Amino acid sequence: MSIPTFFTDQPLVVLGATGRLASEMTFYALLERFSPHIVLCGSSMERLQGLKDEIEESGFGDIQIDLSLSIPEAVANGGYILFAKSVPGGAKTREEMLLQNAPFALEAGRAIANVKDKVTRVVCVSNPSDLMGLMLLVHSELHPEKVMSLSALDTERFRRTLKRRYMVKEDDLESVYTLGSHDTLMAPMLDMARIRGELLNLSSGEKETIVSEVRRSGIGIYKQRGQTAYQSPAIHCLRILMATDEHPFIVPTARYHHSTRYPYTFGSLLTRVDSKGCHHLPCCGSREDIVRLDGAFESIRVMRDRLIEEGFLPATEEWGGVLQEVKELVCVE
C-alpha cells in the first residue's frame, strides 16, 4: 500500500506543544500527513521529549521531529505556525489571561518578524485568542490575511443550539454565524439565521435564551467533562491550517479588521480561509444583530487598549501601513 504524500513540505511549528490542545492537534496533523517536519516548542524539554517519544511509537513513519525551548529557534524556518503557548494552570478569567499570556505573544510576534518571508500562516488559539492574534499580527509585521485566531467553536455551538432546539439536521441550517469576540459578549446573528430557508421569527425572550445558551456553551462543556474543550478546537485549528482553494474553511475566523465602525480591532466576521490566507466577506445584519456585534467588538477594544497601556502593543497610529487601511465591511440592513 502506497503512503500518501504530505500536505506541505514546509514545517509545522507548534508553540506551546506540550499543552493538551496543541499536542492533540499535533497528532491529528500527523494522521493527516500534514508535513514531514514537525517542530515542537515548549518550556520543558522533558515533556517535549515525552511527546516526541509518544509520536515515534505511534507508527507515523519517517517524520523529522525537532524540539526547542526557544521560540526564535522554533520559528527560524517559517512554515505553518500554531500559537498555543500559555501559562499552564494559570489565570481563569479572560482579563487575567490577557496579561499572563501577552509576553508569549510579544516574543513570538517579534521572532516571526525576523523570518516573515518564510511564514505561510499563523493560527492562534492561546486565550484570549482574538487579542493574542492581534499581538502576533502587529509585532510580526505579517500581512493581515496570514494571521488568524480560532473562533469557529462559537458558530458551531450556535448551530448545535438550533439543531437541538428545533430538532433539525445540519443541512437544514443556513447563515448561522456567531461573530465578534470570543467571550461572553460574542454575537450570535439571530436575524441572519435560517432553518429550511425560513427566518427564525423569535420573540425577544426566545432570543435572549438562545444568546445565553450559545455564550455559555463553553462553560457547559467544562461542567460536563470536568475540563475545557480540547479536541474540537484542535480539529478546527488543523482545518484552518489545511484550508486550500479547493477545500476552503468557511466558518467565521477571527482576523484583523479596521473600519470606521470597528477601528484597529481583531475579531470574527464572515470569512473564507484558502491557500492565500483568511479573507473577509461583506457582512450585513439587522439593527438588533449589529447592536449585539457592537458590544462584542467593544469588549475587544477595551482589552486592546489595556494591552497598549501595559506596553504590549504600540499606540494604534504607530501600527504598520497596511493596518491603517480602512475597509468598510459591516452594514445595517
Same-domain pairing of 104 and 127: yes
Taking a C-beta distance cutoff of 8 angstroms, is the pair 238, 29 a contact?
yes
Give a yes or no: residue 91 inside a domain: yes
Predicted local distance difference test score (pLDDT) of residue 4: 64
Q: Look at residue 222 and tell me if it is in a domain.
A: yes
* CA neighbours closer than 13 Å in the CB half-sphere of residue 15: 32
Is a pLDDT exceeding 80 seen at residue 233?
yes
Position 3 scores a pLDDT of 58
Of 88, 77, 79, 69, the residue nearest 19 (C-alpha): 88
pLDDT digits (tens, 9 = 90+) for 20-62: 999 999 999 999 999 999 999 999 999 999 999 999 999 998 8
Tell me the per-residue pLDDT of 244-254, one tens digit each, with 9 for 90 and over: 999 999 999 99
Are residues 294 and 203 both part of a single domain?
A: yes
Model pLDDT for residues 155-182, shown as the tens digit of each residue: 999 999 999 999 999 999 999 999 999 9
Are residues 252 and 144 part of one domain? no
Residues 266-270: what's their mean pLDDT?
98
Range of the domain at 34: 12-149
Render pLDDT for 120-133 as a digit per residue (tens, 0 to 9).
999 999 999 999 99
Percent of the chain at pLDDT exceeding 70: 98
Q: What is the pLDDT of residue 223?
A: 80
pLDDT band for 94, please (50, 70, 90 cuts): confident
Whether the per-residue pLDDT at 240 is higher than 80: the answer is yes
Residue 228 forms part of a structural domain: yes
Same-domain check for residues 208 and 95: no
What mean pLDDT do residues 142-149 have?
A: 98
The pLDDT score that the predictor gives to residue 217 is 86
Do the domain assignments include residue 1? no
Q: Is residue 102 a part of any domain in this protein?
A: yes
Q: Beta strand 198-199 with 194-195: parallel, antiparallel or unpaired?
A: antiparallel
- In this predicted structure, the answer to whether residue 90 has a pLDDT above a threshold of 90 is no
Query: Do 144 and 188 fall into the same domain?
Result: no
Residue whose C-alpha cell is 461573530:
179
Q: Residue 2: is its pLDDT beyond 60?
A: no
In a domain, 78, yes or no: yes
User: Are 110 and 189 found together in one domain?
Assistant: no
* Whether residue 97 is found in the same domain as residue 218: no
Q: What's residue 219's pLDDT?
A: 78
- pLDDT of 1: 43
For residue 179, what is its C-alpha cell?
Answer: 461573530
| pLDDT beyond 80 at 317 | yes
Integer-rounded Cα radius of gyration of the chain: 20
For residue 81, how many other CB atoms are within 10 A of its CB?
Answer: 31
* Whether residues 233 and 163 fall in one domain: yes
Q: At what angle do helices 217-225 and 152-166 cross, to 10 degrees?
A: 80
Would you say residue 117 has pLDDT above 50?
yes
Query: What does the pLDDT average to over 273-284?
Result: 97
More confident call, 319 vs 90:
319
* Residue 269 within a domain: yes
- For residue 255, the cross-strand partners are 267
CATH number at residue 75: 3.40.50.720
Q: What pTM value is reported for the model? A: 0.95
3-state secondary structure the chain: CCCCCCCCCCCEEEECCCCHHHHHHHHHHHHCCCCCEEEEECCCHHHHHHHHHHHHCCCCCCCEEEEECCHHHHCCCCEEEEECCCCCCCCCCHHHHHHHHHHHHHHHHHHHHCCHHHEEEEEECCCCHHHHHHHHHHHHCCCHHHEEECCHHHHHHHHHHHHHHHCCCHHHEECCCEEECCCCCCEECCCCCEECCEECCCCHHHHHHHHHHHHCHHHHHHHHHCCCCCHHHHHHHHHHHCCCCCCCECCCEEEEECCCCCCCEEEEECEEEECCEEEECCEEECHHHHHHHHHHHHHHHHHHHHHHHCCCCCCHHHCCHHHHCCCCCEEEC
- In this prediction, residues 229-253 reach a mean pLDDT of 96
**In a domain? residue 83:** yes
Q: For all residues of the chain together, what is the average pLDDT?
A: 95
Does residue 314 share a domain with residue 262? yes
State which of 99, 124, 149 marks the end of a domain. 149
Sign, CA dihedral 208-236-141-107, equals positive
**Nearest CA among 275, 284, 212 for reference residue 243:** 275
Domain boundary among 102, 132, 149: 149
- Of 114, 149, 184, the residue at which a domain comes to its end is 149
Q: Give yes or no for residue 140 having a pLDDT over 60.
A: yes
* Total domains in the fold of the chain: 2
